[in-house]
Amino acid sequence: MSRPEIGLQVFVLDTPDPRGLAAFYAALLGWEPDSDAPDDDWVQLRAPAGGGLAFQRAPGHVPPSWPAETVPLRAHLDLAVTDLEAAERWALQHGAVRVIGPNPSPTFRTYRDPGGHVFCLVVTG
């Protein structure tokens, strides 16, 4: 049997505030909201190359407590950057908070978005 065509449409983040979190990532990444979003319970951003991020209303969402293990980290985003210092300034300016984790590295840094989700800025190239 050959593999059927399967591709990633979007990566979805649960949040009590879909529009607010979408606004953060739209500013951070320079992506535009998808005009086909059905309502305030679901907001989607389209990446220029296809795919994207979506934000789904989840009123009881509890963000991970990483690096503490109280609420485990299940997934996080790695965002590619060429200039880590400039990208960090941009992320902090838009509401990100730096997280000092157990494995400091010169090629990536870890942050929380305004909803508490973990993401990393990772130097590529």
> Which helix or strand (DSSP H or E) is residue 84 part of?
helix 84-93
Query: Is 54 found in the same domain as 23?
Result: yes
Interval 53-71: pLDDT, tens? 999 999 999 999 888 889 9
For position 78, which CATH number holds? 3.10.180.10
Query: Is 94 found in the same domain as 49?
Result: no
Query: Is 10 found in the same domain as 33?
Result: yes
Q: Where does a domain end: 9, 26, 60?
A: 60
What pLDDT is recorded for position 38?
Answer: 61
Query: Is 83 found in the same domain as 53?
Result: no
Query: Is 69 found in the same domain as 53?
Result: no
Parent domain of 41:
1-60
Angstrom distance (rounded) from CA 19 to CA 27 = 12
Residue 70 to residues 26, 60, 63, 67, Cα–Cα distance (Å) = 30, 16, 10, 9
What pLDDT is recorded for position 82?
Answer: 94
| Cα–Cα nearest to 64, from 10, 26, 119 | 119
Query: Is 1 found in the same domain as 15?
Result: yes
Q: Report which of residues 104 and 31 the model is more confident about.
A: 31
Total structural domains within the chain: 2
Query: Is 81 found in the same domain as 104?
Result: yes
Other CB atoms within a 10 A radius of the CB of residue 45 amount to 23
Query: Is 69 found in the same domain as 32?
Result: no
Query: Is 123 found in the same domain as 67?
Result: yes
Handedness of CA 84, 87, 92, 96 (dihedral sign): negative
Handedness of CA 39, 44, 46, 50 (dihedral sign): negative
For residues 81-91, give the mean pLDDT.
95
Query: Is 72 found in the same domain as 36?
Result: no
Query: Is 102 found in the same domain as 47?
Result: no
Coil, strand or helix at 26: helix
Judge whether residue 36 has pLDDT over 70: no
Spatial CB neighbours of 82, under 8 Å, sequence gap ≥ 6: 123, 124, 125
Entry pTM: 0.88
